[in-house]
Amino acid sequence: MACLAKKSWTTYGFSLTLRTMMTNVLFVCMGNICRSPSAEGVFRHMVNEAGLGEVVRIDSAGTHNFHVGEAPDARAVAAARKRGYEITRTAARQVSAEDFREFDLILAMDWENLSALQQQCPKPHQHKLMLMMRFANEFEEATVPDPYYGGPEGFSKVIDYLEDACQGVLELVRKRATQYQAA
């Protein structure tokens, strides 16, 4: 459920309040230690660079409870850090029932995780579930591959895909904010 964010300032003695549409975005992979925290970090960086930090809530989660409470994989942290993204402030968590109500976009990294989400998600919220790569413009792959069992090059490739797809998600969020402002 999107909520409103208010921004107020005073100009020439007049108090102005701008209301913008808050967008809540959840990135989901299997264990929430590689792809989804990387997506969260990349997208958070882009959102802040675009000046939309006050109107976008960003989080990540896993469909499974394999790594709950753990920090992101060190290889994911290294790949993100090489590109200027910070992902060490996250701790793995599992998708909860509340997530389906609270988030406007729930973006799965691959078909398996999308299927798991579809099985858990109440029917009224199914429209929020999508593959992350649906928002990519440069890459034609349908999914973000799981780099967990590979080497550092797989984590770097994940960042490539996420930068592309997050740019598309950012455009959607920006449109939502400006459409609401114009209304």
Q: Which of 34, 35, 44, 75 is catalytic?
A: 35
The CATH number that applies at residue 124 is 3.40.50.2300
In a domain, 56, yes or no: yes
In a domain, 45, yes or no: yes
In a domain, 1, yes or no: no
Percent of the chain with pLDDT over 90: 84
Range with the poorest average pLDDT among 14-18, 58-62, 108-112: 14-18
Q: Which of 59, 99, 110, 146 is catalytic?
A: 146
160 is catalytic: no
pTM of the model: 0.89
pLDDT, tens digit (0-9, with 9 covering 90-100), for 24-67: 999 999 999 999 999 999 999 999 999 999 999 999 999 999 99
29 is catalytic: yes
Average pLDDT rounded to a whole number, residues 6-18: 44
Write out the DSSP string of the chain. Answer: ---EEEEEEEETTEEEEEEEE-EEEEEEESSSSSHHHHHHHHHHHHHHHTT-TTTEEEEEEESS-TTTTPPPPHHHHHHHHHTT---TT----B--HHHHHH-SEEEESSHHHHHHHHHHS-GGGGGGEEEGGGG-SS---SS----TTS-HHHHHHHHHHHHHHHHHHHHHHHHHHHHHHH-
In a domain, 71, yes or no: yes
Number of domain units in the chain: 1
Residues spanned by the domain of 32: 23-182
3 is catalytic: no
